[in-house]
Amino acid sequence: MSLVELLPRVRSLRLPRVDGLIPWIVPLAIILIWQVACVGGFVPSRVLPAPTDVALAGWKLLLSGELVRNIWVSFWRAGIGFIIGGGIGFAFGLVNGLSQLSNKLTDTTLQMVRNIPHLALIPLVILWFGIDESAKLFLVALGVFFPIYLNTLHGIRTVDPQLVEMGRIYGMTDGELFRRVIFPGALPSIFVGVRFALGIMWLTLIVAETIAASSGLGYMAMQAREFMQIDVVVLSILIYALLGKLADSASRVLERLTLSWHPAFQK
Amino acid sequence: MQEALRFLSPDAEPLDNADFIEQARLARRGAEPASRGLPLTIRGLRKSFGDNEVLRGIDLHIPAGQFVAIVGRSGCGKSTLLRLIAGLESIDAGTIGFGEDTRAEDVRVMFQEPRLLPWARVLSNVEVGLGRDRASPDAQARAEQALTEVGLDDKRGQWPSVLSGGQKQRVALARALVSHPRVLAFDEPLGALDALTRISMQRLLERVWHDQAFTAILVTHDVSEAVALADRVLVIEDGRIANDITVDIPRPRRRGSADLAALEGSILRDLLKSADETSEQ
């Protein structure tokens, strides 16, 4: 069999895989340039260690179990904080979206609180909770609360009133109306909030762990700084990038599953 | 010619409805089948929005099973009248009676916009129309039957977003029909469709009205549509019924025929004359 005969088959096999790799070309190229710059001596290793050194540091930490433990601790804090803050934000968004009275009562207060940068509360939070788990959870929950609250509220407010009227004409009860019309209508907006919140979640957690923690990725990076282990510092930063991407991908998958009706998610 | 028309409009049904025409002729000639529709009696109906009195005393009787078209210039109150009949607005004064007690499922409305739930497949959108019977075991079968009636049984599993405007409106019609309503109110249901899709939808409306024998109330700004479909055309001006015209042109009516055109012309002349008078004042 000649090469020419094989060619179309190979192409049809490979194309889909290549498609999935395209987003990773740029990060891989950056790492490659970085490696070349370090090995070639353009960048001193005190400023930036080579990717291979970073990988080696990661391997050592992985073997000692420290890496997994710290990632797990950070992951747990992020998740619990997200569930608490997101849950409360979602609940307030629902209630304020559905009830004028509740909205009048609480929205102004929430908007005032929203304008305080939540990281500015760190000194106060340390005074309240010390550096124990609740301090981190509190900050993450607070940071996550607002994007989810605002977008849930917005989503419910902007559900097509004609559809709501249609639901009422066809005899839907309040519960059915919520389940079949209002909630699905608000879902795209809620997902926008979730993706904002995921970004804020990591940001808050890392800052909180850097300042006040005795475990977690942020703590690992700060410890490494004390001992001038620049490879571990860079490793931590790369892990943040990967975790952030992971969270974003997870929310995209969820979006795709629940919004398959949406023209934007159809192929 | 027919091929050309079908080519231009994917929604267009085949234009010769020989079967239906024959059926209609037989039904007219023989004894009228007992109508399932409800009669409608309106007395002294008034409605204002703020200082603006939209309806200023409407008195009207519609016999069971009649097809009534309501025409008038925009802002004359025709849509408000329809929304009051459908129970979508509260009545300021007067009464609307259906002759007997009605269930919510007996009166259905179809709007200019299809108002389909974008996150529900076509079939579940139709099931919405069952109202309180949604939970019954034959719900799906009834929804499928309604979809077949509008010729969309092959689209049951689709999302509404992939349907054309005419198809969406047919799904909305199936949703309105699935509960076998006894009064069906149409608020400019074909207003957003292209000319050819309109014609095929008009035929569909006429066919389902004939098959299911409900009382039909059609609000439209298109006088030719009104005279083509209705037994009776009501002209509304300034919140009152200005003219009540019986269309005694036998069905099936041929679009573009001289009688229809003459009637349409005379209604349009009236409407335009009153419009000119208003603008001269």
CATH classification at residue B76: 3.40.50.300
Same domain? For B91 and B227 the reply is: yes
Same domain, B132 and B176: yes
Question: From the CA of B273, how many Å to the nearest CA of chain A?
Answer: 35
Q: Is the ipTM of this complex over 0.85?
A: no
Supply the mean pLDDT for chain B.
84
Separation CA B17–CA A115 (nearest Å): 66
> Do the domain assignments include residue B142?
yes
Of B139, B161, B180, the last residue of a domain is: B180
Tokens 């979602």 belong to residue: A90
CA of A258: which chain B residue's CA is closest?
B119
Digit-coded pLDDT (tens) for B87-134:
889 999 989 988 777 777 889 999 999 999 999 999 999 999 998 888
**pLDDT tens, residue by residue, A31-72:** 999 999 998 888 888 888 999 999 999 999 999 998 999 999
Q: Which of B115, B184, B188 to mutate to test the interface with A (most CBs of A within 10 A)?
A: B115
| pTM for the full predicted model | 0.79
- CB crowding B171-197: b at 16 or more within 10 Å, else e: bbbbbbbbbebbbbbbbbbbbbbeebb
Euclidean distance between CA atoms B178 and B174, whole angstroms = 6
| Rounded CA separation A242/B222 (Å) | 61
Same domain, B2 and B75: yes
Same domain, B129 and B50: no
Is position B268 within any domain?
no
Judging contacts by C-beta atoms under 8 Å, the chain A residues touching residue B175 are 170
Claim to verify: residue B176 and residue B199 sit in the same structural domain: no
Q: Are B247 and B266 in contact (CB under 8 A)?
A: no
What residue in A sits closest to B161 (Cα-Cα)? A263
Domain membership of residue B279 (yes or no) is no
Alpha carbon distances (Å) from B134 to A185, B119, B139, B175: 21, 18, 6, 12
- CATH superfamily, with its number, for domain A51-255: MetI-like (1.10.3720.10)
Distance from CA of B203 to the nearest CA of A (A): 25
Helix (H, G, I), strand (E, B) or coil at B42: strand
Which residues, 6 or more positions from B232, have their beta carbon under 8 angstroms from its beta carbon? B62, B66, B67, B68, B69, B244, B245, B246, B247
- Distance between CA B58 and CA B92 in Å, rounded? 12
Contact status of B50 with chain A (Cβ, < 8 Å): no
Is B119 in contact with A185 (Cβ distance < 8 A)?
yes
B186 and B58 assigned to the same domain: yes
Q: Whole domain around residue B145: which residue ranges?
A: 113-180
Radius of gyration of chain A (CA): 24
Look at residue B191 and tell me if it is in a domain.
yes
Residue B172: closest C-alpha in chain A: A166
pLDDT tens digits, chain B, 281 residues: what are they? Answer: 444 444 444 454 444 445 555 454 444 443 344 578 899 999 999 999 988 889 998 999 999 999 999 998 888 889 899 999 988 899 999 899 887 777 778 899 999 999 999 999 999 999 999 988 888 888 899 999 999 999 998 999 999 999 999 999 999 999 999 999 999 999 998 888 888 889 899 999 999 999 999 999 999 989 999 999 999 999 998 889 999 999 988 888 888 888 889 999 999 988 888 767 766 55
Q: Return the closest-CA partner of residue B223 out of B261, B197, B254, B249.
A: B261
Which residues in A lie closer than 8 A to residue B105 (C-beta atoms)? 171
Q: Based on the domain organization, do B174 and B188 belong to the same domain? A: no
Q: What is the count of structural domains for chain B?
A: 2
Instruction: From chain B, pick out residues whose CB is under 8 angstroms from the CB of A162.
Output: 111, 113, 115
Domain boundaries, chain A: 51-255
Report yes or no: B270 at the A interface, CB cutoff 8 Å.
Answer: no
